[in-house]
């Protein structure tokens, strides 16, 4: 569905919007399924990764982003897998950073490569950065990520601060019995570093070796606990995502809560996801998808088939997701590293 855009944005030929009238102006693009970590909630220990030719080339990623931006997308998040372990990923950031109508280029990373790459990413035009951090205890960090080194990630956080991004946010997935006793230390770390932090409820995606029902920590409980420790001020701020924010009084830190189990954010969903295989997923929790890779490869010099497929996909973007923790099987057996978190 195409909406005519008002005069003020006439430089944009189209604005994608779906069958429910939701404007789609945000894409999350996973540029690799590979990762140097194996977080317990995200990957199995012995992951098999996709063969190279089944993954979008960086040139194909750049072409896709360009097409989406021409359709009114103004925010692009690059994710993975771990986007920064992809060879020459910086080239892609530089290409996307040059797009005139793009307002925000943002990145989600595990932080392991930031010590080396933060400044180049900032120079390429990355505005904001999300860094996953689930524990401040090195042994526990290793247990959760299976291969990650806490010190390396903390050096990455410092490098990101030095590079001067508009905002840095830590992302924490809380799991009962793994890291739910670190809520306060993690928030205090964020305050001390003058960065933001979001707590993400674990989503039933992929195939993990623990029962999600027993490790689930609800954001409502986390918020209640934090309110007893810090003066929190409800904030109407939004980053265009599903997070609800609270400011910690007298600090520079916001605390976000991303609660995929409540349907509260589906009504304002403004995003679609593209996997590293070029699958356009219209909802994180539903199976509806459009294969874009065959179109990219069959029409290397003609964007029209791609544009038509994207416009048509808006008619099948579902109203909302359907996660259910009580099911024995994950609702959607799709690894987050494949879809892009």
Q: Check if the beta carbon of residue 213 is closer than 8 Å to that of residue 325.
A: yes
- Note whether 203 binds ligand SAM by CB under 6 A: yes
Residue that is written with structure tokens 């954001």 in the block: 219
Confirm or reject binding of residue 215 to ligand SF4 (CB under 6 A): no
Q: Which residues pair with 132 in a beta bridge?
A: 171
The entry of ligand SF4, ligand SAM, none that residue 205 binds, CB within 5 to 8 Å by partner kind:
ligand SAM
Closer residue to ligand SAM in complex, CB, 204/278: 204
- Residue among 30 and 313 whose Cβ is closer to ligand SF4: 30
- Residue 85 as a binder of ligand SAM (CB under 6 A): the answer is no
Contacts of 74 (CB under 8 A, 6+ apart): 25, 26, 101, 102, 103, 104
Are 338 and 301 in contact by the 8 Å Cβ rule? The answer is: no
Q: Please, where are the H alpha helices in the chain?
A: 58-70, 89-97, 114-124, 138-145, 150-163, 183-193, 212-215, 219-227, 293-298, 304-313, 336-339
Residue 339 lies near ligand SF4 (rule: CB under 6 A): no
- Structure tokens, 281: 């997923």
- 204 sits near ligand SF4 (criterion: CB under 6 A): no
How far is residue 104's CA from residue 110's CA, in Å, rounded to a whole number? 20
| Positive/negative CA dihedral, 248, 254, 259, 265 | positive
Q: Does 102 bind ligand SF4 (CB under 6 A)?
A: no
Which residue lies nearer to ligand SF4 by CB, 35 or 71? 35
Task: Determine which residue in the list 89, 183, 205, 306 makes contact with ligand SAM, applying CB under 6 A.
Answer: 205
Tokens of 88: 């020459």
284 counts as binding ligand SAM under rule CB under 6 A? no
Query: Which residues between 140 and 179 bind ligand SAM (CB under 6 A)?
Result: 171, 173
Window 74-93: residues binding ligand SF4 (CB under 6 A) = 80-82
Closest CA to 131 of 140, 141, 123, 139: 141
Residue from the set 15, 132, 193, 239 that interacts with ligand SAM by CB under 6 A: 132
Should residue 275 be labelled a site residue for ligand SAM when binding is judged by CB under 6 A?
no
188 touches ligand SAM by CB under 6 A: no
Q: Which does 43 bind (CB under 5 to 8 A by kind): ligand SF4, ligand SAM, none?
A: ligand SF4
Q: Which does 200 bind (CB under 5 to 8 A by kind): ligand SF4, ligand SAM, none?
A: ligand SAM
Shortest distance (Å) from residue 205 CB to ligand SAM: 5
Determine whether 326 is exposed, middle or buried from the number of CB atoms within 10 Å of its CB (0-12, 13-18, 19+): exposed
- CA 323 from centre of chain: 18
User: How many CB atoms neighbour CB 178 within 10 A?
Assistant: 20
Q: Any contact of residue 43 with ligand SF4 (CB under 6 A)?
A: yes
Rounded Cα gap, residues 92 and 155, in angstroms: 24
- Is residue 80 close enough to count as binding ligand SAM by CB under 6 A? yes
Applying CB under 6 A, the residues found at the interface with ligand SF4 are 35, 37-39, 42-43, 80-82, 110, 132, 336-337
Applying CB under 6 A, the residues found at the interface with ligand SAM are 35, 41-42, 79-80, 82, 108-110, 132, 171, 173, 200, 202-203, 205, 336-337, 341
């Amino acid at each position: 569905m195409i909406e005519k855009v008002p005069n003020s944005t006439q430089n944009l030929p189209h604005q994608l919007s779906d069958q429910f009238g939701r404007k789609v102006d945000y894409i999350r693009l996973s540029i690799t399924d590979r990762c140097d970590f194996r977080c317990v909630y995200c990957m199995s220990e012995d992951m098999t990764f996709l063969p190279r030719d089944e993954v979008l080339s960086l040139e194909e990623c750049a072409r896709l982003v360009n097409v989406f931006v021409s359709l009114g997308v103004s925010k692009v998040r690059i994710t993975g897998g771990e986007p920064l372990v992809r060879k020459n990923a910086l080239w892609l950031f530089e290409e996307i950073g040059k797009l005139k109508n793009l307002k925000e280029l943002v990145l989600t990373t595990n932080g392991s490569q930031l010590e080396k790459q933060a400044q180049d990413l900032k120079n390429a035009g990355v505005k904001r950065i999300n860094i996953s951090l689930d524990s401040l205890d090195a042994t526990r960090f290793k247990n959760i990520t299976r291969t990650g080194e806490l010190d390396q990630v903390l050096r990455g956080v410092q490098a990101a601060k030095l590079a001067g991004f508009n905002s840095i946010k830590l992302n924490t997935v809380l799991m009962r019995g793994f890291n739910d006793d670190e809520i306060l230390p993690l928030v205090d770390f964020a305050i001390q570093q003058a960065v933001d932090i979001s707590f993400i409820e674990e989503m039933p995606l992929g195939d993990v070796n623990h029962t999600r029902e027993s490790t689930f920590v609800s954001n409502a409980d986390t918020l209640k606990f934090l309110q007893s420790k810090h003066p929190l001020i409800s904030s109407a701020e939004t980053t265009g995502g599903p997070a609800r924010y609270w400011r910690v009084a007298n600090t520079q830190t916001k605390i976000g809560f991303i609660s995929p189990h409540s349907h509260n954010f589906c009504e304002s969903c403004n995003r679609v996801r593209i996997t590293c295989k070029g699958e356009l997923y219209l909802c994180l929790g539903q199976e509806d998808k459009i294969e874009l890779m065959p179109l990219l490869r069959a029409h290397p010099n003609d964007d029209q088939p791609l544009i038509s497929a994207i416009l048509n996909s808006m008619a099948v973007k579902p109203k909302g997701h359907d996660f259910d923790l009580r099911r024995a099987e994950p609702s959607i057996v799709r690894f987050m590293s494949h879809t892009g978190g």
